[in-house]
Chains A and B, each alone.
Chain A
């Protein structure tokens, strides 16, 4: 039977093997550095394989994964956050923050008006706090517009 723990265990084993191989391919360290740059990562990698092996052999019962529509919603939220991360610098703080906060708000509680208000309110409110109270260097709009 396919179980999450088994799949995850196998993934971890693959990652750990890659990790050990890339550790092995590192150049040797300094002459005085007796342990060198490879030993510790190799130990960690082997430990990961052992622990992941337990997961493969003795998996716990299946976690309750959400139904497909919820998973899609989560995927969408992730995309929105990633887009927000990329937009923050070129587009300034206000617009991306309003959109991202609005979308998240709508995803948690689907009220359109409330989500719009949350988006706008948060982006302006947080901008004021961070820029003027905490003195972080943020730009409201794209720097090309404001100079």
Chain B
């Protein structure tokens, strides 16, 4: 069969390309298709773990897309609950969805969150020619007429990007948050084109999504939602210093199955800490617009619990959950 011959040719070409990849040690599940943030987390952390000698063989990355991470979550809980060699990429989206019961009956305590080792700071952005010069300008405009400002963001309604401006408005004492317009488009760059095109008045997203547009001068960031100004972007004020006490960062990290032993959990925590301390990871963060944000081990779990509770409260208020 000639078809097979052809494939065999391709096979041998490719086999020689990746000769060293047949033995896997640990497995990292990216709960999304290749190319997204979770895929990046798995591939980068997996690669660095191997490069710095924390694992003996390359980490195998498995993509398990479905239900915004819910499929991977339920699979881990149901089928891999005691697998000590399994890590799963996670981010703010994971906890947001858990808080909103978007993973069916799954709850956040069914797995163990190992840690976060980087974060994408939340930002609120307007087109360069927007009349809003500060976050207060925008908040005042919304207070006067809630329908006057429409936000575009990369997540679905009720998702993390939608929550960011609502948290700011809550902090400003504005309670009619359900009437604030939001459209969820395909990713941050798409949200920016809608805003630069004048279809929406503001964009809510992550720092990494806006870097190129900030440099080209097509958009202005009104605020970054971090404790301190972000290194490299010192001219963008935080929401906090403008009087809105909101911190919202999209952290990147891992969880492991809930049924593994404390020693195994500690082993992964140590490994993750080693990645966080490595020069390779610092480079990867700089390349991808991530800010340092390291919380590993027990601290992280209690921080997660707090975030989940807070998200749940806000979600109830905007009616995403009953």
Interface positions of A (Cβ within 8 A of B):
29-33, 125, 128-129, 132-135, 137
Contact = CB atoms under 8 A, between A and B. Distances in A.
Interface in B119-168: 147, 157-158
Contacts of B23: none
Contacts of B180: 32
B14 A133 contact: yes
A32 B178 CA distance: 7
Given A32-B147, A132-B14, A133-B7, 8 more contacts: A30-B182, A30-B318, A31-B178, A32-B180, A133-B10, A133-B14, A134-B14, A137-B27
Contacts of B11: 128-129, 132-133
Interface of B: 4, 7-8, 10-11, 14-15, 18, 21-22, 27, 60, 62, 147, 157-158, 178-182, 318-319
Given A133-B15, A137-B60, A32 B181 contact: yes
A147 to B, nearest CB: 11
A9 to B, nearest CB: 34
A128 to B, nearest CB: 7
Given A129-B11, A132-B15, A133-B10, A30 B60 contact: no
A30 B15 contact: no
B178 A129 contact: no
Contacts of B182: 30, 32
28 contacts: A29-B157, A30-B158, A30-B182, A30-B318, A30-B319, A31-B178, A31-B179, A31-B319, A32-B147, A32-B180, A32-B181, A32-B182, A33-B157, A128-B11, A129-B8, A129-B11, A132-B11, A132-B14, A132-B22, A133-B7, A133-B11, A133-B14, A133-B15, A134-B14, A135-B18, A135-B21, A137-B60, A137-B62
A125 B4 contact: yes
B55 to A, nearest CB: 17
Given A132-B22, A137-B62, A30 B157 contact: yes
B22 A30 contact: no
Contacts of B7: 129, 133
B165 to A, nearest CB: 12
Nearest to B17: A133
Contacts of B14: 132-134
Contacts of B319: 30-31
Contacts of A133: 7, 10-11, 14-15
Q: Which of B11, B18, B22, B179 has the most CB of A within 10 A?
A: B11
A133 to B, nearest CB: 4
